[in-house]
């Protein structure tokens, strides 16, 4: 590894700061002008915020791997905002 390669490396703190900034920007796009977080997210919003595939989000909802609710079998899923926080915390732990 040469000096140029070392200059390209990011520290864990750099990644954490980038991740938090990225999520703050995305949250501002979904909730413009709001300081508080939403109580529930649609699978599309959750996929957008986490970078997870939409189909994976739906699969995880069906398998109870995400805290989500569905009012009826033909109704869309509503994913608890706490799941976004949990996802973010787990991502930070795995960095």
The range of the structural domain enclosing residue 49 comes to: 36-95
Q: What is the pLDDT of residue 43?
A: 93
> What pTM was estimated for this model as a whole?
0.59
Residue 11 lies in a domain: no
Q: Specify if 76 maps to a domain.
A: yes
What CATH number does residue 52 fall under? 1.10.1660
User: pLDDT, tens digit, for every residue of 15-42?
Assistant: 676 777 777 777 676 665 554 567 899 9
Report phi then psi at 69, rounded to 5.
-130, 160
Domain-located, residue 93: yes
pLDDT tens for residues 45-93?
Answer: 999 888 889 999 999 999 999 999 998 878 889 999 999 888 888 877 8
- How far, in Å, are 9, 16, 19 from residue 5 at the CA level? 7, 21, 22
- What total number of domains does the chain contain? 1
Helix H, strand E, coil C: the string for 37-76 is CCCEECHHHHHHHHCCCHHHHHHHHHCCCCCEECCCCCCC
| pLDDT computed for residue 94 by the predictor | 75
């Amino acid at each position: 590894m040469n000096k140029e390669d070392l200059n390209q490396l990011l520290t864990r703190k750099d990644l954490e700061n980038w991740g938090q900034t990225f999520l703050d920007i995305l949250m501002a796009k979904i909730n413009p002008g709001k300081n508080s977080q939403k109580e529930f997210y649609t699978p599309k919003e959750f996929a957008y915020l986490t970078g997870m595939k939409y189909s994976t989000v739906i699969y995880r909802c069906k398998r109870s791997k995400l805290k989500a609710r569905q009012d009826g079998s033909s109704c869309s899923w509503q994913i608890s905002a706490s799941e976004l926080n949990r996802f973010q915390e787990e991502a930070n732990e795995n960095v």
